[in-house]
Structure 1
């Protein structure tokens, strides 16, 4: 029996949703472990023909790698169903700085993503410094990036997340590295592309083709998933399976529209809802 109370208001609000943007780390899985209810939730969306896109701020891997991981964990996924902050940053740069020379603090996967998009990756005289979630970061490259930035080279970050949830706790994310750069150089990034920036939500909703007002963002972070969803006009759904705790929620400035212990309870609510009357074109879940 479900311990989560499914009220008529919760059922009504969930049944009105026509599309979903889904965070991954801390929402659907932790590390290489699928979180309880993730498979049931995705099954509910697919059975009902509700489109969805996996939307992650984690820029350490590309869409292909995430799709492989999701499939390995037993979830349906194609590359077109995954939008990372790295891909959104590449898109933003192509529209404003095509063929720019980039010094990238990022994993080999992120660097390859920028190179494939037509950017020249350099170690000297860059036009821009780009910071991602760099699990391969060395002190030498961090120091070099700070030198470029002090000399006036503008810099951008793929996303602001301070920590990345992993089994047993957290590890420093791009936001923690950005804080070190800011402390050393005194310069803020020109822009941070990932959640909560409206840009990445607009890219995701455009892929789905669903109305903004009936599209939900499901995630575990208040300052990225929830703040960004609210600013973009989406329905903000918080799950308490990752970074945010019930204590964090008490004094939060960014209030979610709905809160669930995990996606398991969200799946349970969906199972009680009538089938949607219409289906919308666009991204995942097809």
Structure 2
């Protein structure tokens, strides 16, 4: 049984955990204050690679939460670090937004666009600027055997009003149908994203807890990486859904508010 008092760093999912749409969830800011008072720390962690950290910093600021850019970590950044460890300055065919392209260029990679350019990797992100030509070129390279990476596997990106837009996972299935190949995925629920975070921030796994509202991404990430897990029932997962699931978290709370209250009580 894990001890909540021993957790030093909380990896926080955002939508459904810290805010819902454009509103902070009650108790979220108080939770950050409690961590500060107890000399604990946090990092916001998102699978969405269509935006860079600054886009999230600006959104959080609009919601009343001002923080340094280094407090936000995306699957896009995780992928750049993973690939830099594999082959710095690699040539990459990237299916991604201009913001993700900028992140890869800043990380020292050379982006190629067309056929006949011999990329070292094909990387699929959440590309809201996707075109048929982009997909076709990517499929040609993947079919040739070029190493293939995806930032994350989410099928849908939630929107306000209970709506969704197709995410990277839908594109993974499109490419698989054409090429017969699936990518190595970096983001949640895979352990790679936690390993990269530990390398960047100097965390030890026994000091970390993954906190989120999705069982199959957030909580599964913690299980796969062998770190503590906290499911909050303020977003996608209800109490009934949790009890019927075969995915078990170490701790279950209605929201960050109750998690914070427990941290104060246990101190």
Query: With structure 2 as the length reference, what TM-score do the two structures score?
Result: 0.89
- Pick one of 49, 63, 83 that aligns with 2:53: 63
1:116 alignment partner in structure 2: 106
Tell me the C-alpha RMSD between the 2 structures. 2.2
1:188 alignment partner in structure 2: 182
Task: Give CA deviations for 1:34-60 in whole Å, capped at 9, x if unaligned.
Answer: 223221212221232211111111111
1:201 alignment partner in structure 2: 194
2:170 alignment partner in structure 1: 176
- SS of the residue corresponding to residue 26 of structure 2 reads coil
- SS of the residue corresponding to residue 168 of structure 1 reads helix
- Pick one of 159, 166, 175 that aligns with 1:166: 159
Shift of the 146–206 alpha-carbon distance from structure 1 to 2, 3 Å rule, reads closer
Tell me, which stretches of 5 or more residues in structure 1 are unaligned?
1-8, 275-286
- SS of the residue corresponding to residue 67 of structure 1 reads helix
2:37 and 2:61 map into 1 onto residues whose CA distance is 18
- SS of the residue corresponding to residue 99 of structure 1 reads coil
1:1-286 pair list within 5 angstroms: 13-124=3-114, 125=117, 126-169=119-162, 170-189=164-183, 191-274=184-267
- Preserved contact between residue 104 and residue 111 of structure 1 (Cα < 8 Å): yes
- Preserved contact between residue 197 and residue 203 of structure 2 (Cα < 8 Å): no
Runs of 4+ in 1 over 6 A off after TM superposition: none
Shift of the 45–194 alpha-carbon distance from structure 1 to 2, 3 Å rule, reads same
1:100 and 1:207 map into 2 onto residues whose CA distance is 20
1:279 alignment partner in structure 2: none
Shift of the 70–182 alpha-carbon distance from structure 1 to 2, 3 Å rule, reads same
Shift of the 88–31 alpha-carbon distance from structure 1 to 2, 3 Å rule, reads same
- Preserved contact between residue 196 and residue 225 of structure 1 (Cα < 8 Å): yes
Shift of the 179–250 alpha-carbon distance from structure 1 to 2, 3 Å rule, reads farther
1:148 and 1:79 map into 2 onto residues whose CA distance is 35
- Preserved contact between residue 81 and residue 196 of structure 2 (Cα < 8 Å): no
Shift of the 113–73 alpha-carbon distance from structure 1 to 2, 3 Å rule, reads same
- SS of the residue corresponding to residue 102 of structure 1 reads strand
1:277 alignment partner in structure 2: none
1:175 and 1:257 map into 2 onto residues whose CA distance is 27
- Preserved contact between residue 26 and residue 165 of structure 1 (Cα < 8 Å): no
- Preserved contact between residue 78 and residue 197 of structure 2 (Cα < 8 Å): no
Shift of 1:229: 0.7
Shift of the 134–240 alpha-carbon distance from structure 1 to 2, 3 Å rule, reads farther
